[in-house]
Structure 1
Amino acid sequence: MSADPAALLTVLADTRALLARPGNDFTWSSFGDTASALAELDAFTAAVRAGAPAPTGLRVLYAPTGPIQEVSLSSGWGDEFLDLATRFDAATG
């Protein structure tokens, strides 16, 4: 995955802020709860910050019906997810 690290880090930070919102519903996602979602995202973020190529698993998180979209739809921020997914696609080429 060819990526623009700065743009990708911005998308990851914005995603983290949305996933950390109180009251998010993780029922339909593969994340168990807020802590597990943030831990997974933080691990990917650390890899990008360390200069590693964008981890392949990131694409799954932003895929249609992926775990972030499931949380977004259950929690009322589906439109914001669509913006994130578009920005993610642009950042990862």
Structure 2
Amino acid sequence: MSVDTEALLAVLADIHAILARQGNDFSWSSFPHADAALQKVDELSAAVRAGDPPLLMLTVLFAPTGPVQEVSLSSGWAEEFLVLADRFDAAMAGIALP
């Protein structure tokens, strides 16, 4: 798998910013609260920067009914999540999006 590290880090930065928004509802996700979600995204970003991306954990994060999608659905930004998920899939496949 040829991961586009730069694009992946951009997606993670964007999801971090969205998860940090006030008013997100984490009750249906595996994250107990925003701080836990942000910490996980930070850990994953650090691993990607170190050249050791945890591919399975990253995939779970953006999976259908995964923790980020659950937050998006209960917080009103499901369409925004779908765009990020497409960008994530492209980054994981090493495909540059316009």
TM-score range, shorter chain: over 0.9
After TM superposition, the score normalised by the length of structure 1 is 0.95
User: Residue type of the partner of 2:18?
Assistant: L
* Native 8 Å contact 2:28 2:71 kept in 1: yes
Note the alpha carbon deviations across 1:21-63, whole angstroms, 9 max, x for none. Answer: 0010000000000000000110000001112135320100100
Whole-Å Cα distance in 2 between the matches of residues 55 and 90 of structure 1?
14
Match of 2:96 in 1: none
State yes or no: 1:89 paired with 2:89.
yes
Identity of aligned residues (%): 63
Deviating runs (4+, > 4 A) in structure 1? none
Match of 1:38 in 2: 38
Whole-Å Cα distance in 2 between the matches of residues 72 and 54 of structure 1?
22
5+ residue gaps in structure 1?
none
User: Residue type of the partner of 1:20?
Assistant: A
5+ residue gaps in structure 2?
94-98
State yes or no: 1:55 paired with 2:68.
no
Whole-Å Cα distance in 1 between the matches of residues 63 and 55 of structure 2?
14
